[in-house]
Amino acid sequence: MIGILGAGSLGRLWGAMLPNGCVAFVARPGETTDSSLDYRFRPFEGPESSIQIPFLRTGDTPDLMLVTTKAGDTLGAVAGVIDQLPVDIPILLFQNGLGSQQAVAERWPERPILAASTTEGANRPEPGLLVHAGTGDTWVGPLTDQARFSVDRAVAMLEDSGLAIHREPAILQRLWQKLIINAGINPYTAILNCPNGDILSAGLYQDTIEELCRELSELMSAAVQITETPDSLRQRIEQVAQNTAGNTSSMRADVLRKRQTEIDFINGYLAKLGKELGIDTPVNQMLTERVQQLSSH
């Protein structure tokens, strides 16, 4: 049985894709567990179907727990349920950005804590509907020492979804590669309130992207010893912005829906890391503050 903590877009996608009967949502403390969660599922291809996922009953333990909360909710969400989980149950974190994963791994180093990086895309255009908007790949790797022995088991269980799952021993490096893309696209789309492709012609982007990529290159080299020139990072960011030109980024969507963004775990994480490492990060700092101002109104 796979437990899913965080019944939002990504959690519901796993709920819909994993075999029926093998998956249950993990309730928050105090939440009732005798009902199920019902929603319509629009797959990437094919007809819509109805999905019914039970909540894990009190006393039952999953063999694997997926954590699909937003980065800012993750430490608290895991803390709320972890005492119900035997110490050897793998906990797989799906958050974007960085910072929330390390916080969980540092708090429970004796547990098998894993992280995933996924390019699957899911959203909920209306309350009872989950849309699998884009197919991609999911990489799974260990964060704590204990997790090294759980990767194969977690990958095998997730493969039952039919999605493309890969082992990734260097998961931190993989998360950094995604962080670079999110840091170079998401805040601009939120501040400019535009789809991904439109940032490329905006003055704010053109005036700051060179310096941002210099910051990103220095930080990545210092943090995970990946050497990539600012120009090469810029090319990758712009390639993704072009490939997803019509998309609304997750950060812009959060601002539009007046929900908390993940800025503190993207550019905010990078600015904080810069302070710790003695690397100047004025553009990451500026982007962080501007997005924070947007979501505080």
The position carrying tokens 């390639």 is: 239
Angle between helices 282-295 and 267-277 (to 10 degrees): 140
Is the four-CA dihedral 39, 44, 48, 52 of positive or negative sign? negative
Q: Which CB sits closer to ligand KPL, 70 or 111?
A: 70
- 233 contacts ligand NAD (rule: CB under 6 A): no
Could you tell me whether strands 113-118 and 91-93 are parallel, antiparallel, or unpaired per DSSP bridges?
parallel
SS3 17: helix
How many residues make contact with ligand KPL (CB under 6 A)? 10
- 28 contacts ligand NAD (rule: CB under 6 A): yes
Closest CA to 81 of 36, 116, 30: 30
Select the residue interacting with ligand KPL from 74, 118, 144, 249 (CB under 6 A).
249
SS3 126: strand
- 69 contacts ligand NAD (rule: CB under 6 A): yes
Q: Which CB sits closer to ligand NAD, 208 or 267?
A: 267
Q: Which residue intervals of 82-119 are DSSP H helices?
A: 100-107
Residue 5 interacts with which of ligand NAD, ligand KPL, none, CB < 5 to 8 Å by class: ligand NAD
Select the residue interacting with ligand NAD from 3, 6, 142, 184 (CB under 6 A).
6
Phi–psi pair at 62, nearest 5 degrees: -75, 160
Cα(84)–Cα(178) distance, integer angstroms: 32
Q: Which CB sits closer to ligand KPL, 217 or 250?
A: 250
Residue 254 interacts with which of ligand KPL, ligand NAD, none, CB < 5 to 8 Å by class: none
- 100 contacts ligand KPL (rule: CB under 6 A): no
Q: Which residue intervals of 93-202 are DSSP H helices?
A: 100-107, 151-159, 171-192
> Is 178 known to be catalytic?
yes
The nearest distance, CB 124 to ligand NAD, in angstroms, is: 7
Point out which span in 48-56, 63-71, 206-214, 236-244 binds ligand NAD (CB under 6 A). Answer: 63-71
Q: Which of residues 178-217 bind ligand KPL (CB under 6 A)?
A: 181-182, 185-186, 196
Token pair for 291? 């997005």
Cα(65)–Cα(80) distance, integer angstroms: 13
Q: Which CB sits closer to ligand NAD, 37 or 200?
A: 37
Q: Which of residues 255-284 bind ligand NAD (CB under 6 A)?
A: 262
What track of x and - describes contact with ligand KPL for positions 162 through 181 (by CB under 6 A)?
-------------------x
Phi–psi pair at 162, nearest 5 degrees: 85, -5
Token pair for 240? 């993704």
- 51 contacts ligand NAD (rule: CB under 6 A): no
Q: Which CB sits closer to ligand KPL, 74 or 250?
A: 250
Closest CA to 287 of 212, 235, 220, 194: 212
Residues annotated as part of the active site: 178
Residues that bind ligand NAD (CB under 6 A): 5-11, 28, 68-71, 73, 76-77, 80, 94-96, 118, 120-122, 250, 262
